[in-house]
Structure 1
Amino acid sequence: MKLRLFFIIVGCILLLAGYAHYFTENELFQFITSSIAIVFLAAWLGKSTESVAHYAGDRIGGFLNATFGNAAELIIAFFLVKEGLFEMVKASITGAIIGNLLLVLGLSVLLGGLKYKEQTFNSKLASHNASLMMLAIVALFIPAVFMKELPPIKIETLSIVIAVLLIIAYVLWLVFSMITHRDFLSDIETHESEALWSKSVSMIMLGISTFFVAVVSEWLVHSVHQVSTSLGWSELFVGAFVIAIIGNAAEHSAALLLALKGRIGAAVEIAVGSSLQIALFVAPTLVLISLLMGRPMDIVFTTFELAAIGVATVITISITRDGATNWFEGVLLLAVYLILGTAFFFI
Structure 2
Amino acid sequence: MSLKKLFFPGLIATFALSAIAHFLTMNSTLQFVLAALAILFAAGFLGKATESVAHYAGDRIGGFLNATFGNAAELIIAIFLVKEGLFDMVKASLTGSIIGNLLLVLGLSVLMGGLKFKEQKFNSLLASHNASLMILGVISLFIPAMFLTSFGEGTHRMNTLSLIVSALLIAAYLLWLLFSMVTHKKELADHVETQPDHGEQPAWSAKLSVLFLVIATVMVAFISEWMVGTLESFSHQFGLSELFVGAFLVAIVGNAAEHSAAVMLAMKNKIGAAVEIAIGSSLQIALFVGPVLVFVSSFTGNTMDLVFMPVELVAIAVAVFIAKSISQDGSTNWFEGALLLIVYVILGVAFYLI
Relative to the length of structure 2, the TM-score reads 0.96
Matched position secondary structure for 2:269: coil
Query: Alpha-carbon deviations, 1:146-193, whole Å to 9, x = none?
Result: 011114110000000000000000000000000000110011235554
User: Quick one: which of 206, 223, 229 aligns to 1:199?
Assistant: 206
1:316 equivalent to 2:323? Answer: yes
Q: 2:246 — aligned with what?
A: 239
Q: 2:189 — aligned with what?
A: 186
Q: 1:250 — aligned with what?
A: 257
Q: CA deviation at 1:293?
A: 1.4
1:317, 1:344 → 2: CA distance? 22
Q: CA deviation at 1:3?
A: 4.5
Q: 1:262 — aligned with what?
A: 269
> Cα RMSD between the aligned structures?
1.1
Q: Does the 8 A contact of 2:28 with 2:230 survive in 1?
A: yes
Q: 2:38 — aligned with what?
A: 37
Q: 2:164 — aligned with what?
A: 161
Q: 2:295 — aligned with what?
A: 288
Gaps of 5+ in 2: none
1:334, 1:303 → 2: CA distance? 22
Gaps of 5+ in 1: none
1:71 equivalent to 2:72? Answer: yes
1:17 equivalent to 2:18? Answer: yes
2:120, 2:185 → 1: CA distance? 21
Q: 2:89 — aligned with what?
A: 88
Matched position secondary structure for 1:141: helix
1:136, 1:333 → 2: CA distance? 19
Give the counterpart letter for 2:158 in structure 1. I
Q: CA deviation at 1:2?
A: 5.7
1:170 equivalent to 2:177? Answer: no
Q: CA deviation at 1:4?
A: 4.4
Relative to the length of structure 1, the TM-score reads 0.98
Q: CA deviation at 1:25?
A: 2.8
Matched position secondary structure for 1:219: helix
1:35, 1:225 → 2: CA distance? 15
Query: Alpha-carbon deviations, 1:51-104, whole Å to 9, x = none?
Result: 111111111111101000101100100100010000000000000000000000
Q: 1:52 — aligned with what?
A: 53
2:126, 2:83 → 1: CA distance? 36
Query: Alpha-carbon deviations, 1:273-310, whole Å to 9, x = none?
Result: 00000000000000001111112111110100000000
Q: 2:102 — aligned with what?
A: 101
1:6, 1:248 → 2: CA distance? 18
Give the counterpart letter for 2:164 in structure 1. V
Q: 1:127 — aligned with what?
A: 128
Q: Does the 8 A contact of 2:123 with 2:192 survive in 1?
A: no
Matched position secondary structure for 2:150: coil
Q: 2:219 — aligned with what?
A: 212
Q: CA deviation at 1:40?
A: 0.8
Q: Does the 8 A contact of 2:120 with 2:331 survive in 1?
A: yes
Give the counterpart letter for 1:217 in structure 2. S
C-alpha spacing 1:109/1:204, structure 2 compared with 1 (3 Å): same
1:315, 1:114 → 2: CA distance? 20
Matched position secondary structure for 2:305: coil
Matched position secondary structure for 1:345: helix
1:36, 1:63 → 2: CA distance? 25
Q: CA deviation at 1:6?
A: 1.2
Query: Alpha-carbon deviations, 1:111-151, whole Å to 9, x = none?
Result: 11001011010111000000000000000000000011114
Q: 1:327 — aligned with what?
A: 334
Matched position secondary structure for 2:149: coil
Give the counterpart letter for 2:42 in structure 1. L
Count the aligned residue pairs: 347
Q: 2:345 — aligned with what?
A: 338
Matched position secondary structure for 2:187: coil
2:272, 2:211 → 1: CA distance? 27
Give the counterpart letter for 1:258 in structure 2. L
Q: CA deviation at 1:23?
A: 1.4
